[in-house]
Amino acid sequence: MKIRIFSLFPEMFEGPLTASLLGKACDKGILSIEVVNFRDYALDKHRHVDDTPYGGGQGMVLMPQPLVDALEDHAPDSANSEVILLSPQGKPFSQADAVRLSKREDLAFVCGHYEGFDERIRHFVDSEYSIGDYVLTGGELPAMVMIDTIARLIPGVIKEQASYEEDSFFQGLLEYPQYTKPRDYRGMEVPEVLLSGHHANIRRWQKKEALRRTWQRRPDLLEGYPFSAEEEALLQAVQDEEGSNE
């Protein structure tokens, strides 16, 4: 996958995109990441990319010309591409979006700053995403979050597909609790079922605890969740247990 990032602060991406799994994926040629400073496309000698808003208002607004010229100068090689605008007004980014975007051959992320974009910039993007109901200083951090989430789903970035298929949100639930050695740490013991070697019982425990954690912490995720008969029974058991503990 080729990833292009349009930003006024390309230096922000030097660490996060060159370390850990992303750095290794780039070294292997699985990922190709290019960061474009669209200030280079400003036309005046002071390299202005923003101006005061028509109609008045606080702050400065990004002008369309530098960014659009940069986008057109770095047009994707593939038709299987998507240009993404990072904005607090965008669709909330989810794991399902990451799965869809991981199948693209070319992604572009547009990072803004200041008070916002000239509205006409939206005519040159394909989608608009937000990573949460809060405001950041720019789109660089959301771009990093999205790239990390998407890239780990690309074949070859993570060695084993099962490593991410059991992650929180991938199957619509939060992940079940995980344990490793030692068996007893300061009186807190690993659940006996995980030591039993009985795979069916372990799988059932993991499913039940994933449902318990989701019901306790993110009940909104259960709205519209496609429960199997087993899952309905497990959730009812969880609710009965938790009710008896009150």
Q: Is 34 a catalytic residue?
A: no
pLDDT band of residue 102 (cuts 50, 70, 90) is: very high
Q: Which of 16, 64, 88, 177 is catalytic?
A: 88
In 38-161, which residue ranges form alpha helices assigned H by DSSP? 64-73, 95-101, 140-151
Quote the domain boundaries for residue 62. Answer: 2-151
Mean pLDDT of the chain: 92
Question: Known binder of ligand: residue 224?
Answer: no
Percentage of the chain with pLDDT > 70?
A: 95
Q: Is 120 a catalytic residue?
A: no
Q: Which of 82, 97, 115, 128 is catalytic?
A: 115
Whether 66 contacts 36, CB under 8 Å? no
Q: Which of 66, 106, 118, 152 is catalytic?
A: 152
The pTM of this model reads: 0.85
Q: What is the DSSP letter of 158?
A: B
Q: Is 115 a catalytic residue?
A: yes
Give the pLDDT confidence score for residue 164 in this predicted structure: 54
Question: Is there a single domain that holds both residue 135 and residue 203?
Answer: no
Whether 71 contacts 107, CB under 8 Å? no
Give the pLDDT confidence score for residue 56 in this predicted structure: 87
A 10 A CB-CB count for 179 gives 13
Question: Is there a single domain that holds both residue 6 and residue 68?
Answer: yes
Which tens digit of pLDDT belongs to each residue from 41-95?
Answer: 999 999 999 999 999 888 899 999 999 999 999 998 889 999 999 999 999 999 9
pLDDT band of residue 162 (cuts 50, 70, 90) is: very low
Which tens digit of pLDDT belongs to each residue from 173-200?
Answer: 998 999 999 999 999 999 999 999 999 9
In a domain, 192, yes or no: yes
A 10 A CB-CB count for 163 gives 10
pLDDT band of residue 113 (cuts 50, 70, 90) is: confident
**Number of domains into which the chain is organized:** 2
Q: Is the pLDDT of residue 165 over 80?
A: no
Average pLDDT over residues 234-242: 97
CA nearest to 121, candidates 132, 130, 112: 112
Question: Known binder of ligand: residue 133?
Answer: yes
- Tokens 């190709």: give the residue: 32
Question: Known binder of ligand: residue 136?
Answer: yes
Question: Known binder of ligand: residue 85?
Answer: no
Q: Which of 82, 128, 148, 167 is catalytic?
A: 167
Question: Known binder of ligand: residue 132?
Answer: yes
Question: Is there a single domain that holds both residue 85 and residue 128?
Answer: yes
Q: Is 76 a catalytic residue?
A: no
- The count of residues in the chain is 246
CA nearest to 149, candidates 129, 177, 133: 129
Question: Is there a single domain that holds both residue 83 and residue 138?
Answer: yes
Question: Known binder of ligand: residue 134?
Answer: yes
Question: Is there a single domain that holds both residue 202 and residue 122?
Answer: no
Question: Is there a single domain that holds both residue 124 and residue 56?
Answer: yes
